[in-house]
Amino acid sequence: MRIRRLWSILFPAVLAAATMTAQVQTLPWMKSSQAKIDSELSAKYGESQHARIVKGVQQAAEYWRTEDGDAPVFEEFVRENFAGDQQTLDILFGRYEYLLEQLNGHMQEINREFRQQSDLDLGKVYPFDEIFAAYSPNAHVIDDFFQNKLAFVVLLNFPLTTLDERLTQGERWTRRQWAEARLALQFSRRVPADVNQAISAAGTDAEQYISEYNIYMHHIVDAKGNRLFPAGMRLLSHWNLRDEIKADYADAANGLAKQRTIVQVMERIVTQTIPESVINNPYADWNPFDNTVAPASVHDADAPDKINVPISAAAEPDTRYATLLNVYRASRKADPYFPNEPTLIARKFNIEREIPEARVKSIFENILTSPLVPKMAKLIQKRLGRPLEPFDIWYNGFKPQSKYSEAELDKIVSAKYPTPDAYKADIPNMLLKLGFSKERAEYLAANIIVDPARGSGHAMGAGMKSAHPHLRTRVGKSGMDYKGFNIAVHEMGHNVEQTFSLNMIDHYLLNGVPNTAFTEAIAFVFQAHDLDLLGITSNDPQAETMKTLNDFWMTYEIAGVGLVDMGVWHWMYDHPDAAPAQLKEAAIAIAKDIWNKYYAPVFGKKDILLLGIYSHMIDSFLYLPDYTIGYLIANQIEEQVKKSGSIGKEIERIVASGSIAPDLWMKNATGSPVSADALLEETEKALRAVNGK
């Protein structure tokens, strides 16, 4: 997972942008109390405030429960807390904006500290460390805000808005109106603390499972006991396994054999036929083709004392899918509190992304069925000089690093960055290369803290302006390798966005970006320039053309992955009582179906499972569609960057919009809404250029 979302931040995304309908508890006296207080307040504040009074009182009434008080309590609360003039309303708004920043920021700091041992490479993770990580110190905040009536003060004074209103009217709103809308939406559901805590715990358990899912590649052997991978190579699933496939295109001698071997490893993970004993274990030799295991006959540097230790060949007991089911069942606990979005699927698209699922699916299918796909496949096959194989969905031969071996890149990176501190020290130089001013580069570098990650790496933003974002990146004993650097540059993009969209924003309540896909897009823009940051520049006059082709092929691959993630979540909701084994079979079938529909006609092979390997599907709550959307947004941003010639200048400008509606943000950034059109047009031009037409 690229950007670490704290499962227990003050107002989780699933709570932060809901529609207006609440879980209504009809109180027999409420209607008469509303009429009484509406009339009383309208007489006091004048007809100009009547519409605000009616709406605010209605919103408070919809959330009021018996335990909140009887009719006199409700009426007195409204009398005392309705802000009937602009000055009082401004003071009220400012108070909430400041204090919520303090509360959210400090809670996020506490959360980060509780997760340190599980998130960072700081030694053994004990069972109690996992309990600390799963704890959500602010799970009760929403409950508390309703019980002490701070939430009702907001609902009484600021309007709740529907998704349709935000999408159709938001372009005409002022920045203050957008901030008020985001404030009110934070209190649009009364989700109990125990539900928030259960979701946090399930997310943490899943992240811990994924962060420890390493394969020791030197212990992968063929039928003759040959080892294709170097000693000490430990690859995290899925990120590092996939990236090793990409790196092996540069290995003319053994690359193809390595890639076919990794595919076999991936399929064993998806089907859960992988021996449990080979996961994160340097003491087992494994042949993934015939699925046999044996005690390690050689050792790695970090495991020198144990060889020829008896080893079990028993398969992992569907833990992958049991973990996903736990995530699903925890998320379902919130369903009753969202009448208009009664599934996590609906909340992810309508609330968190603010882009309807049907539109997202249509965009993905537009890419997957594009006539450009077979043309791209034909070009890649020509460049490879062989028929395509399924793993060529990760072909990266359009990128400059394909001219360098992975070992050469590792040597360059490890020399520059032997420690996380060395990477941090070089951040100003890297940002200067990306077009940031010296002042901005130094400011950003001073603001970002670099930590050694236990998993692949992630970015953890700050919750208040006085705090700092954290860049977590994996650094081995011999220093950072190229895979780690590539991810670190991606995370640095997140941290830059997090810094600007928090510290340079006009309203704290608008901090951030519209949804996860937007911060991913900015991170992709950074990541695409990783070799430039290493001083490895291409003199190829077709570099931009090649980049466009690479972007299209990556988007084609990840669009199918997103559809698999969506399909699996729909299946779980259709089969709420499924066992892990049943979910496994369903996930396999969905991965095969998507492959057969959109990829088999191109690759000539059916029933391939590679679309099901992504670890995000297990620990990230329907996160994968954000990657495809992110790639499209990144392409649009890159086109805008070309016009100004400076990544730094454009990123600083565009993130100042904050967390407004997605299409409105994109129009401010590039002049166009979120769309695949720009990528498809650029790809068609690139193909014509490459083919000399």
312 vs 294: CA distance, rounded Å:
8
Provide the 3-class DSSP secondary structure of residue 396.
Answer: coil
Could you report the per-residue pLDDT of 607-632, keeping only the tens digit for each? 999 999 999 999 999 999 999 998 99
> pLDDT for 622-662, tens place per residue?
999 999 998 999 899 988 888 888 899 999 999 999 999 99
Q: What is the count of structural domains for the chain?
A: 4
pLDDT in tens, 571-580: 999 999 999 9
* 342 within domain boundaries: yes
CA distances to 292, 417, 522, 528 from 534, rounded to whole Å, are 41, 11, 19, 12
243 located within any domain: yes
Rounded to whole angstroms, the Cα distance separating 324 from 97 reads 36
Q: What is the pLDDT of residues 277-296, one digit of tens each?
A: 999 999 899 999 999 999 98
What digits encode the pLDDT tens for the residues 141-158?
888 999 999 999 999 999
Compare 104 and 17 and report the one with higher pLDDT: 104
pLDDT of residue 338: 87
DSSP 227: B
pLDDT band for position 191 (cuts 50, 70, 90)? confident
Look at residue 250 and tell me if it is in a domain. Answer: yes
pLDDT (tens digit per residue) in 195-253: 988 998 999 899 999 989 999 999 999 878 889 999 989 999 999 999 999 999 989 89
Average pLDDT value for residue range 12-21: 37
**One domain, residues 529 and 544:** no
| Among candidate residues 533, 557, 578, the one where a domain is terminated | 533
**pLDDT bracket for residue 5 (50, 70, 90):** very low
pLDDT confidence band for 308 (50 / 70 / 90): low
Q: Are residues 647 and 580 in the same domain?
A: yes
Q: Which range marks the domain in which residue 348 is found?
A: 334-398+540-690
Whether residues 238 and 338 share a domain: the answer is no
556 and 526 in a common domain:
no
d(CA 420, CA 259): 30
pLDDT of residue 228: 94
The per-residue pLDDT for 36 is: 96
Look at residue 210 and tell me if it is in a domain: no
Question: Which pTM value belongs to this model?
Answer: 0.84
619 and 511 in a common domain: no
Is the domain of 662 the same as that of 593?
A: yes
Using one digit for the tens of pLDDT, what is the confidence trace for 388-413? 999 999 999 987 655 677 888 999 99
Model pLDDT, residue 15? 37
The one-letter code for the residue type at 353 is: R
Q: Is residue 208 part of a domain?
A: no
Specify if 225 maps to a domain: yes
Q: Please tell me whether residues 576 and 671 are part of one structural domain.
A: yes
- Shared-domain flag, residues 389 and 414: no
The confidence score (pLDDT) of residue 340 equals 82
Q: What is the mean pLDDT of residues 471-499?
A: 91
Q: In this prediction, what percent of the chain has a pLDDT beyond 90?
A: 73
pLDDT score recorded for residue 456: 67
Stated as kind and residue range, the H or E segment containing 116 is helix 86-119
Query: pLDDT of 337-374, one tens digit each?
Result: 888 889 999 999 999 999 999 999 999 999 999 999 99
CA distance 409 to 530: 11
**Same domain as 88, residue 62:** yes
Per-residue tokens: 386: 């062989």
CA distance 353 to 351: 6
Where residue 301 falls among pLDDT bands split at 50, 70, 90?
low
Beta strand pairing status for 449-452 and 470-473?
parallel
| Residue 160 host element (H or E) | none
572/626 same-domain check? yes
Q: Which of 598, 542, 618, 613 is nearest to 202 (CA)?
A: 618
Does the CA dihedral 501-504-509-510 come out positive or negative?
negative
* Average pLDDT estimate for 475-490: 90
**574 lies in a domain?**
yes
More confident residue, 634 or 559: 559
Cα dist. 325→13, 205, 276, 381, 520 in Å?
Answer: 21, 12, 19, 39, 26
Report pLDDT for 9: 34
Amino acid identity of residue 579, one-letter, is A
Q: Could you tell me which of 41, 394, 384, 407 has the C-alpha nearest to residue 232?
A: 407
Residues 287 and 363 in one domain: no
Structure tokens that stand for 652 in this block: 């600083």
**Of residues 71 and 122, more confidently modeled:** 71
In a domain, 2, yes or no: no
Please give the mean pLDDT across all residues of the chain: 90
User: pLDDT band at residue 21, thresholds of 50, 70 and 90?
Assistant: very low
Query: Is 417 found in the same domain as 522?
Result: yes
